[in-house]
Amino acid sequence: MTQPPSASRTPSGLFPAGRNRPTYREPHRVKGGAVAAGAASAGAWMLVFGLVDTTLRGYAWWTVFAGAVAWAVAVGLIRAGDRGIAAGIAAATAIGWSAAAIGVAVGWATTGDWPMW
């Protein structure tokens, strides 16, 4: 036989009842416009550096350099600025590095010679 619940019994706290739990909110939210602005600016940055050289080797090294600089800027923005722009920069840099990696892989598969050295 079970006993009826007592009205004076205090809950254990394992399963909080009601709206007593704290609500954590982001003080500076990441907005879509900021991500798009960061992606567009980093995309233009990667494009400009990608057009500096005409060889696959030069394109790949300039893309690595431009991506490293862009990531350094993104880290600075994460620490002291807008994280939305930093996320856009990181995404565009990843896409730029992926394009360079695909270009190097296709060049290597086509010629049989590693194009980076």
Q: Does residue 17 sit in helix, strand or coil?
A: coil
- Which amino acid is located at 101 in the chain? A
- The rounded distance, in Å, linking the Cα atoms of 47 and 57 is 15
Identify residue 72 by its one-letter amino acid code.
Answer: A
Please tell me the number of Cα atoms within 13 Å of 13 on its side-chain side: 0
pTM, 2 dp? 0.73
Q: Which two tokens stand for residue 83?
A: 């994280």
User: Does residue 34 register a pLDDT over 70?
Assistant: yes
* Number of helices (H), then strands (E), in the chain: 3, 0
Is pLDDT above 70 for 6? no
Confidence of residue 25 (pLDDT cuts 50, 70, 90): confident
Question: Does residue 17 surpass a pLDDT of 70?
Answer: no
